[in-house]
Amino acid sequence: MSEINYQALRDAAEKATQGEWVAFISPGKYGTYAVHTPGDNHHGDIVDWPGFDEQKNAENNARYIAAFNPEVVQALLDERERNQQYIKRRDQENEEIALTVGKLRVELEEAKKRIAELEKSEEQLINERDHAESTLADMYFAATGDRPEWSNCFSFSDAVDAVVDRIADLEAKQSSPVVPEGLIKAVRFYEQVKRENPPVETGAWKDAVDWVLKEACPAVNIGIKGE
């Protein structure tokens, strides 16, 4: 079967007689099988009985032509066009959904990457905090002889203040300063960090604690021995 020209079929249906077509059936050996259009008379049949003369399937053919009238053809073509438009809309929607899914996949991969970076950063911060805590605990022990008990009431800042006070107390008991110039600079650097950075686990605090410990522990030990 050749390809159907739907536009040519529509044009032909629009030009044909509109309205309901009726099959006129008069069976018998010399029966009449005609198709009437609206307004036809016996001599104005669109398909008169000679058209189906002596056909074995004349009655069914006449009924078929009457049923498949121009209005039916146009209705079927209209339905086909609506279906084509629906398919086109669905294809467009599916394309948009595919683009959205692709975008979401990219965003998901970026989110996974960001989560991994944050987890790594969190682990690094925890390690730095543990290091700073251990270092400050050693410095506190060297100054006071006790291990600090960290809590909401006793923080890193409290421990460093205790060390600074201990150093000041030792210096006050000596005729000459027992704290070297490097330690004084270290303590001042720490106090600057404390003013500019709240007591959280940052790199600046870690550097400050490391420096103060490096300078303070020998001096404090000397002070304790000479006290």
Residues 88-132: tens digit of each pLDDT: 999 999 999 999 999 999 998 998 888 888 888 888 888 887 888
Residue 57 lies in a domain: yes
Residue 102 lies in a domain: no
Residue 198 lies in a domain: yes
Statement: the pTM of the whole predicted model exceeds 0.75: no
Residue 121 lies in a domain: no
- Among candidate residues 68, 91, 107, the one where a domain is terminated: 68
- Going from the C-alpha of 52 to that of each of 38, 59, 60, 63, 136, the distances in angstroms are 20, 8, 10, 11, 112
Residue 171 lies in a domain: no
Q: What pLDDT, in 10s, does the model give residues 49-78?
A: 555 556 677 778 788 888 888 889 999 999
| pLDDT in the model for residue 209 | 62
**How many structural domains does the chain have?**
2
Whole-number percent of the chain with pLDDT over 70: 66
Residue 216 lies in a domain: yes
Confidence of residue 45 (pLDDT cuts 50, 70, 90): low
- Of the two residues 74 and 17, the one the predictor is more confident about is 74
| pLDDT in the model for residue 152 | 79
- Going from the C-alpha of 118 to that of each of 106, 112, 122, 128, 151, the distances in angstroms are 18, 10, 6, 15, 26
Residue 2 lies in a domain: no
**Location of structure tokens 């490097």:** 182
Say which DSSP state 43 is in.
G
Q: Once rounded to an integer, what is the mean pLDDT over residues 13-27?
A: 80
- Among candidate residues 68, 102, 131, the one where a domain is terminated: 68
Domain of 186 in residue numbering reads as 181-223
Q: Which residues contact 1 (CB under 8 A, 6 or more apart)?
A: none
Q: Helix (H, G, I), strand (E, B), or coil: what is residue 47? A: strand
Residue 206 lies in a domain: yes
Greatest Cα pair distance, the chain, in angstroms, is: 148
- Of the two residues 57 and 81, the one the predictor is more confident about is 81
- Among candidate residues 6, 34, 68, the one where a domain is terminated: 68
